[in-house]
Amino acid sequence: MEAASLPAALELAAGGGAGLSPEKRAVLGASLLLLQRDYRFERVWFWGCIQGVRGSYYIAEGLGPDRAAPRSRLYSLNCVEWSLLPPVTEEMVAQAEQLKGRFQGDPSFEYEHIEINAEDAERLFEDEMTTRKALPLKFAYVSLKPTIKEEARLVATIEQIDRAVGIIPRGAFVKTPLGSVHENRNFEGLSLTEAKKLSSYFHFTKPFNLKNKTLLEKADLDPSTDFLDSLEHDIPQGSWTVQLEKGDTVVVLRSLLWLGLTFYHVPVTKQYGYIYFGTGEKNFDLPFML
């Protein structure tokens, strides 16, 4: 969620019982601004908090002029000092997917005994070869490291969560003909009926299903606002709960795949955002639980 609207947003997204203490709220107002100054971000989003066993990580994301570009991610243990996380690679994501269990709370902790099965290893190897135009010497670099640091696991998890369940309302962002994406200044909010439908929300990440739509569906779409995947076709069906809270004035979507992700939107206003408060573990039991 936008750093500027953090106090109001936290009130709206607090239905799940998770939030920030007054101390953290107070310091975030200042420290996120300083982040914006230091890293020259155009927008700073407070992404949420991943709770480890011994401590929690508070995450912020910084966006540049193109809001759809890969974002810079920073973490902090106390919301005062922030450290930049390394940019995420596919290899990190693959390794992090193998890990199970809670985060430890210590950024330098190393997880051991990562096993990547042969197929993934080959795929990664090929990716590396094509992207790097590898010299034979770099063969050995295809790093099947047996250990992964908690920092890498953290950024990989954040990337997974953003890809899978980071959502925005339809029409909130527009794509310019030059390809860059920025906020739609004419977005006045979804109406109440629209806000209850899953098709009015998009994944804010590279679309997968867009090309597969039939021509009939594509005819109704407006390419400036409908350039992302909607939530309608998420698998498994029912992996989002849509509820009206606070006397039916706020629409809250919660993801069941990544328990802890909450998206809120006040219909007919510009207020929306998502935040994650949780342990950073994917809910693999979802099909059994529905």
Nearest-angstrom CA–CA distance, 201 and 208: 15
CA 158: distance to chain centroid?
A: 6
Q: Which is nearer to another protein, 129 or 192 (CB)?
A: 192
- How many Cα atoms are found within 13 Å in the side-chain-facing hemisphere of 71? 28
Other CB atoms closer than 10 Å to residue 31's CB: what's the count? 21
DSSP for residue 258: T
Q: Which is nearer to another protein, 63 or 251 (CB)?
A: 251
Q: Which is nearer to another protein, 142 or 282 (CB)?
A: 282
Q: To the nearest whole angstrom, how small is the minimum distance from the Cβ of residue 279 to another protein?
A: 6
Q: Which is nearer to another protein, 199 or 241 (CB)?
A: 241
Q: To the nearest whole angstrom, how small is the minimum distance from the Cβ of residue 214 to another protein?
A: 21
Q: Please give the helix or strand (H or E) that residue 83 lies within, else none.
A: strand 83-84
Distances (CA, A) of 154 to 90, 110, 144, 263: 14, 12, 18, 21
Q: To the nearest whole angstrom, how small is the minimum distance from the Cβ of residue 152 to another protein?
A: 20
Q: To the nearest whole angstrom, how small is the minimum distance from the Cβ of residue 249 to another protein?
A: 6
Nearest-angstrom CA–CA distance, 264 and 287: 25
Q: Which is nearer to another protein, 71 or 265 (CB)?
A: 265
Q: Which is nearer to another protein, 198 or 259 (CB)?
A: 259
Q: To the nearest whole angstrom, how small is the minimum distance from the Cβ of residue 33 to another protein?
A: 20
Q: Which is nearer to another protein, 69 or 290 (CB)?
A: 290
Nearest-angstrom CA–CA distance, 227 and 170: 10
Q: To the nearest whole angstrom, how small is the minimum distance from the Cβ of residue 281 to another protein?
A: 9
Q: To the nearest whole angstrom, how small is the minimum distance from the Cβ of residue 8 to another protein?
A: 10
- Say which residues have a Cβ less than 8 Å from residue 192's Cβ, sequence separation at least 6: 267, 268
Q: Which is nearer to another protein, 133 or 284 (CB)?
A: 284
Phi, psi of 246 (to 5 degrees): 50, 55
Q: To the nearest whole angstrom, how small is the minimum distance from the Cβ of residue 257 to another protein?
A: 12
Cα Rg of the chain, angstroms: 20
Distances (CA, A) of 89 to 95, 117, 157, 159, 193: 10, 18, 11, 10, 39
Residues lying near another protein in the complex (CB under 8 A) are found at 10-12, 14-24, 51, 53-54, 78, 100-102, 185-186, 192, 238, 241, 243-244, 246-249, 254, 256, 259, 279, 284-285, 288-290
SS3 97: helix
Q: Is the dihedral of CA 185, 186, 188, 192 positive or negative?
A: negative
